[in-house]
């Protein structure tokens, strides 16, 4: 992607972000007041409706009021998403102010004559000695819920969803080193990021998560915990942590993931 294309893409993304912010702000006005509290006991989650900003207690929500649980769950997600959108808009505006100095990492090799590119490209893109070391120390946790990995990628890896299958195929097609669901200790818990990607240029691990069931309140709560754990645990958003998402109203867009990878790693 040419530098001038980045400016156009940032403007395009800002326009989309402004529309998304406006939509979220509008829809948030339609939700019930208050917030949802949860309590887990003996493997069962109970929900409470907190109507006051001055107390942490709430009214118990019975199983017959599932619509209220869903509405308050979506409200919390919209609030979290809106906060992230505000931060992203600020970051994009900062990027726009310095766009003249932004170039994809691939620009370095693209400046060289084609004959030199063919000689350097293989070593540069793979950094094979380090790649071999990285792959030997980053492994899929084969004991982590193996029964859920039912879809096979083009490279023969097993994943859990069609969207993850598309992401894995994209990574393989672009020769981006990654490992699926390796165990990671974070915030006192063992979690399994969907994709841990190697940035060959910096030797950094980059996390790519796909949140695919945001219509499920319990899944949404777990997704929000993960986002907070990554961003407060050393994985800065849009630097070492990226995520994609989908719901019934917002289908998965592989192109969004491709654009993020291209921007961060200079894949094109």
189 and 248 belong to one structural domain: yes
142 and 168 belong to one structural domain: yes
92 and 113 belong to one structural domain: no
Tell me the residue range of the domain where 10 lies.
Answer: 1-103
171 and 84 belong to one structural domain: no
Would you write out the chain's pLDDT as a tens digit for each of its 268 residues? 455 566 777 778 878 888 888 888 888 888 999 988 888 888 888 889 998 766 778 899 998 998 998 888 888 888 888 888 888 877 777 666 555 444 444 445 445 555 555 554 444 445 577 788 899 999 999 999 999 999 999 999 999 999 999 999 999 988 899 999 999 999 889 999 999 999 887 888 999 999 998 888 889 888 999 998 998 899 988 889 999 989 888 889 898 888 888 888 865 4
Token digits of residue 152: 């096979």
246 and 126 belong to one structural domain: yes
pTM score above 0.85: no
Q: Which of 80, 103, 126 is the last residue of a domain?
A: 103
How many domains does the chain fold into?
A: 2
Q: Which of 74, 103, 132 is the last residue of a domain?
A: 103
181 and 233 belong to one structural domain: yes
93 and 142 belong to one structural domain: no
In sequence order, the 6+-apart residues with CB closer than 8 A to the CB of 56 are 37, 50
Instruction: State CA 200 to chain mean position distance.
Output: 20
Surface-to-core class of residue 220, CB atoms within 10 Å of its CB (0-12 exposed, 13-18 middle, 19+ buried): buried
Q: Which of 34, 69, 103 is the last residue of a domain?
A: 103
Cα separation, 121 vs 84, whole angstroms:
37
45 and 144 belong to one structural domain: no
Side-chain-side CA neighbours of 116 within 13 Å: the count stands at 6
170 and 233 belong to one structural domain: yes
- 1-7 long-range contacts, Cβ below 8 Å, gap at least 24? 1/104, 1/262, 1/263, 1/268, 3/99, 3/100, 3/102, 3/103, 3/107, 6/99, 6/102, 6/104, 6/263, 7/96, 7/99
133 and 261 belong to one structural domain: yes
Place of tokens 């946790």: 141
Token digits of residue 42: 């003996």
96 and 184 belong to one structural domain: no
In sequence order, the 6+-apart residues with CB closer than 8 A to the CB of 60 are 46, 47, 48
115 and 79 belong to one structural domain: no
Q: Which residues of 35-64 are buried (b: 16+ CB within 10 A; e: fewer)?
A: bbbeeeeeeeeebbbbeeeeeeebeebeee
């Amino acid at each position: 992607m040419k530098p001038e294309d980045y400016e156009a893409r940032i403007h395009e993304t800002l326009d989309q972000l402004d529309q998304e912010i406006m939509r979220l702000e509008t829809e948030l006005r339609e939700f019930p007041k208050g917030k949802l509290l949860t309590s887990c006991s003996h493997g069962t989650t109970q929900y409470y409706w907190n109507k006051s900003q001055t107390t942490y207690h709430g009214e118990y929500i019975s199983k017959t009021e599932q619509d209220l649980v869903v509405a308050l769950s979506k409200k919390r997600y919209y609030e979290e998403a809106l906060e992230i959108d505000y931060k992203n808009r600020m970051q994009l505006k900062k990027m726009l102010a310095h766009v003249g100095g932004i170039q994809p990492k691939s620009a370095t090799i693209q400046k060289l004559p084609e004959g030199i590119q063919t000689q350097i490209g293989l070593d540069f893109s793979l950094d094979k000695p380090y790649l071999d070391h990285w792959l030997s120390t980053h492994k899929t946790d084969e004991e982590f819920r193996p029964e859920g990995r039912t879809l096979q990628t083009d490279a023969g890896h097993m994943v859990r969803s069609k969207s993850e299958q598309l992401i894995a195929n994209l990574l393989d097609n672009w020769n981006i080193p990654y490992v699926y669901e390796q165990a990671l200790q974070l915030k006192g818990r063992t979690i399994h990021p969907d994709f841990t990607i190697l940035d060959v240029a910096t030797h950094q691990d980059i996390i790519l998560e796909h949140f695919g069931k945001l219509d499920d309140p319990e899944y949404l709560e777990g997704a929000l915990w993960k986002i907070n754990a990554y961003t407060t645990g050393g994985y800065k958003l849009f630097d070492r942590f990226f995520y994609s998402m989908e719901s019934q109203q917002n289908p998965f867009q592989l192109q969004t993931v491709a654009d993020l990878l291209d921007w961060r790693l200079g894949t094109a």
